[in-house]
Amino acid sequence: MAILWAVAGVFLYVAPPADEPKQADVLFVLGPPDSRISYAEKLMQRGYAPTLAVSSPIAKDGSFEAGICGDHRAYRIICFNPDPFTTQGEARALKDLSDQYGWKSANVLTAQFHVTRARVIVSRCYTGDLHMVADRMDLPLISLSDPTYSWAYQYLYQTAAFVKVAIHPDC
């Protein structure tokens, strides 16, 4: 059973079916705003969308933690703090912001190990043209310095989170 889970994880987490970015109304970055921001900026410089939306926690001083929030670029930057700060909260925020701004298409950027699960959750809330874009990461099997950025942790976390997705099928 463990071998089957390990093999399935390769297709779900390590090399998931991700989309190439397309021209869209928004590049929507799921949190946390880590290395994804630099990849998002590269995509924005290539003109994939006129608006960059970034999911970011709020710092103790009340500002957004994502450093790009409040910056001025050639494109619009919208930072938001979803409620709750989960993928489901972000999917609801995409729906609400799309209704507010009239977005009909979105490139949703997240870590590769999160693409498959995020696609399921976002598709439940967002009915526009959706492209799930993977920020590919070279993770170690195990990391003592930051266990959350290791394949062992992500296999366990993402699998448990899929159970939650199955139990809570709503937007």
DSSP type of residue 67: T
Contact 57, 90 (CB under 8 A): no
Residue with tokens 């869209």: 24
d(CA 30, CA 53): 9
Cβ within 8 Å of residue 7, ≥6 positions away: none
Residue with tokens 């929030």: 69
Contact 49, 107 (CB under 8 A): yes
Q: Where are the domains of the chain?
A: 2-167
Q: Could you tell me where the beta strands, DSSP code E, fall in the chain? A: 26-29, 51-55, 76-80, 105-111, 129-135
Identify the pLDDT of residue 141: 75
Topology classification of domain 2-167: Rossmann fold (3.40.50)
Instruction: List the one residue out of 165, 24, 159, 1 whose CA is nearest residue 91.
Output: 165
Distance between alpha carbon 35 and the CA centroid of its chain, in Å?
11
pLDDT per residue as tens, the chain (171 positions): 767 766 665 666 767 889 999 999 999 999 888 778 999 999 999 999 999 999 999 999 999 999 899 899 999 999 999 999 999 999 999 999 999 999 999 999 999 989 999 999 999 999 999 999 999 887 767 776 776 777 788 888 888 888 898 998 889
| Residue type at 44 in one-letter notation | M
